[in-house]
Amino acid sequence: MLVILHANTEETAEDYKRMWSHLQGLPEIRLQKHKVQGRGQHLTEIYLIGNTTKINLEEIESLPAVERVVRISHDFRILGRHSQEKGSIDFEYNRIRFNQQNFHIFAGLCAVDNPGNVERMMQALQENGQECTRMGAYKPRTNPYSFQGHGKECLPYVFELAGKYGIKVVAMEVTHEQHIEEIDNCLEKLGQPTGVMLQIGTRNTQNFELLKAVGRQHTYPVLLKRGFGISLNESLNAAEYLASEGNNQVIFCLRGMKTSFNAPHRNMVDFAHLPIIKRLTRMPVCIDPSHSVGTREASPDGGLDVLHSTSQGIIAGANMVLVDFHPSPTDALVDGPQALTLDELPKFIEDTRISRDAYKKRVELWAEK
């Protein structure tokens, strides 16, 4: 059961105290509280966990400070969309807002290789009006002999250059709880020149101890990639792990599925699931066309497969694109064959604008009575 309080209800208010005291007295019920910071207001949601079948819904709705009560009938208790809810997870991080209506491009290096390439990438982003990027410092690899990232050694120059070129959010994968501490320490030492979105990669979607550790910290939002060999529901439950530990600032990322039918692409592009995720949950949804397609092959019309796949996701309502670029893809240490070049960045941004405009027109069309 979900209890939603009136907007901007403070815990020091008498109405809140009376309501909370009543809920605490419910037998065999555990309370879990979550705060949702929206634009200009904050909401408090209280989850009643346990056997709620005997609880009188009208009685809870009559309590002071309560706006409404929702009985939850599926697994996604915190991040799920309940009883025709229209809103979404909505949060601002380092002056960038994320929700199911906004759109952001996170173009950057799949794996950080050297300061020169990081600076060229950051400068190109600034010149093209971008404030977000992706930068891989910690790289889990299938092959133990493959390059696995520079780790904490590259963090200082990545964060300093991000600050120099006005990059507000860096999406960065972590594979161990220690990596969060390393990012924390580096940002603090440098005076917080930028922000970080912690990324959980597809290989760690069911690393439950990592999910719990990332969920326990409330400093950074989280980008969770779909597990490439598990069901959609299993991946969405991984997101619920994060929220159940207290961090509901979660963006869900589609990145392709590993099947026997994905060839000639690297993975089976799964962007058709995007509206399903928005229907089932309130999370913003990201697409990763680079790891879905995995090549720079072009169609007869001249468009790269990765560009067509990007448009498919955006026109279905994607809120974020995570995409690989590199100043010199042939020299990239990881996934060079799928990276776009810096001179392709302006056209890529314009291409996404065209697709985003088409999505908005489609929404307007079907909203007409």
What would the two tokens of residue 312 be? 């498919």
Per the domain annotation, does 77 fall within a domain? no
111 lies in the same domain as 231: yes
Q: Quick one: which of 243, 311, 250, 310 has its CA closest to 277?
A: 250
350 lies in the same domain as 315: yes
The number of beta carbons lying within 10 Å of the beta carbon of residue 264 is: 9
* 68: phi then psi, degrees, rounded to nearest 5: -160, 165
Q: Quick one: which of 21, 83, 73 has its CA closest to 46?
A: 21
CATH for 48: 3.30.70
Per the domain annotation, does 78 fall within a domain? no
Q: Is 136 helix (H, G, I), strand (E, B) or coil?
A: coil
Which residue, of 70, 100, 117, is where some domain finishes?
70
Domain count for the chain = 2
CATH for 199: 3.20.20.70
Query: Beta partners for 106?
Result: 322
148 lies in the same domain as 290: yes
109 lies in the same domain as 234: yes
Per the domain annotation, does 85 fall within a domain? no
Per the domain annotation, does 86 fall within a domain? no
Beta-carbon-side half-sphere exposure of residue 240 (alpha carbons within 13 Å): 17
The residue range of the domain holding 104 is 91-367
Tokens 């079907």, located at residue: 366
pLDDT less than 50: residues of the chain = none
Q: Is 213 helix (H, G, I), strand (E, B) or coil?
A: helix
* 245: phi then psi, degrees, rounded to nearest 5: -90, 0
What would the two tokens of residue 92 be? 């601002």
Per the domain annotation, does 82 fall within a domain? no
344 lies in the same domain as 309: yes
Name the strand (E) or helix (H) holding 118.
Answer: helix 115-127
Which residue, of 40, 70, 100, is where some domain finishes?
70
CA distance 170 to 191: 16
Q: Give the pLDDT score at 138.
A: 95
Per the domain annotation, does 242 fall within a domain? yes
66 lies in the same domain as 208: no
250 lies in the same domain as 355: yes
7 lies in the same domain as 104: no
Per the domain annotation, does 288 fall within a domain? yes
Per the domain annotation, does 83 fall within a domain? no
127 lies in the same domain as 221: yes
pTM: 0.86
Which residue, of 70, 104, 125, is where some domain finishes?
70
274 lies in the same domain as 175: yes
Omega prior to 337 cis, within 30 of 0 = no
Cβ–Cβ < 8 Å for 292, 270:
yes
Q: Give the pLDDT score at 51.
A: 84
36 lies in the same domain as 165: no
177 lies in the same domain as 280: yes
